[in-house]
């Protein structure tokens, strides 16, 4: 039986790698993206030509109406949803003294309210054996200067994951999170100058920065029966920081 996955932030970075990994497992994918452009066009083309065929939908996950419309379209096309990957997220740098309320609210709108809206909309489409995987961050556990808003939003997702796993576990729906360290993506590259890269590599036991396909392997594991007794967990995937 073909499984269906809904992946947010599907056109770039970790989300793109997750889509490609799930397609390799024969999963039908509904990929959500926020911004039109070349990356979104490539996603749509890849899903259109996949077997089984998927769809790409534009959706700002912080907008409740857009979320309901996208999930309804996914349900119309494919019926139920077996796997939800809450991947979309944003990050910026700002010390708390200079952090404006608008930046705080914007961070939480995408990183916390977005996964809440998508998960709430998708849950009625999920049956026994379904899996929810949320990408949080190692900074949600460790924190870092200049990242109070980001770390707080990602810590919220860890609590969300633990609580929701207790709510829906008796329906045999599993809920887990992944807390990556530094992963090579377009988003992380913005502030990753050579000096900072060298520092991270020096702190990591494996001596390198992680790659998106490595994280996608963990998502694929949590998404299927291989992890059937893993629930309510946040897995650190950071190379040993």
Q: Which residues are catalytic?
A: 150
Q: How many CB atoms lie within 10 A of CB 84?
A: 29
Among the listed residues 176, 156, 59, the one whose alpha carbon sits nearest the alpha carbon of residue 116: 156
Which residues partner with 21 through β-bridges? none
Q: Is the peptide bond before 146 cis (omega within 30 degrees of 0)?
A: no
Helices (H), the chain: 13-24, 38-49, 64-78, 101-108, 114-122, 139-142, 148-168, 186-189, 194-203, 212-223
- The strand pair at 83-86 and 131-135 is best described as parallel
Distance CA 123, CA 84 (A): 9
Alpha-carbon distance values, 155 to 90, 97, 178, 214 (Å): 14, 21, 12, 22
Q: Is the dihedral of CA 31, 17, 110, 168 positive or negative?
A: positive
């Amino acid at each position: 039986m073909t499984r269906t996955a809904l992946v947010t932030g599907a056109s770039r970075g970790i989300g793109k790698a997750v889509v490609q990994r799930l397609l390799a497992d024969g999963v039908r994918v509904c990929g959500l993206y926020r911004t039109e452009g070349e990356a979104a066009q490539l996603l749509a083309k890849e899903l259109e030509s996949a077997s089984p065929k998927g769809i790409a939908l534009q959706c700002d996950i912080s907008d409740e109406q857009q979320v309901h419309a996208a999930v309804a379209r996914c349900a119309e096309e494919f019926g139920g949803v077996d796997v939800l990957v809450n991947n979309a997220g944003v990050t910026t740098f700002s010390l708390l003294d200079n952090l404006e309320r608008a930046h705080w609210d914007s961070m939480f709108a995408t990183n916390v309210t977005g996964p809440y809206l998508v998960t709430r909309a998708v849950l009625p489409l999920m049956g026994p054996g379904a899996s929810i995987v949320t990408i949080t961050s190692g900074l949600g556990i460790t924190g870092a200067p200049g990242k109070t808003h980001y770390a707080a939003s990602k810590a919220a997702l860890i609590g969300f994951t633990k609580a929701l796993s207790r709510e829906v576990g008796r329906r045999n729906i599993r809920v887990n999170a992944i807390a990556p360290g530094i992963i090579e993506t377009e988003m992380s590259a913005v502030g990753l100058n050579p000096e900072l890269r060298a520092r991270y590599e020096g702190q990591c036991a494996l001596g390198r920065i992680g790659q998106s396909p490595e994280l996608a392997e963990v998502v694929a594991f949590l998404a299927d029966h291989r992890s059937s007794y893993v629930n309510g967990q946040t897995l650190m995937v950071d190379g040993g920081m």
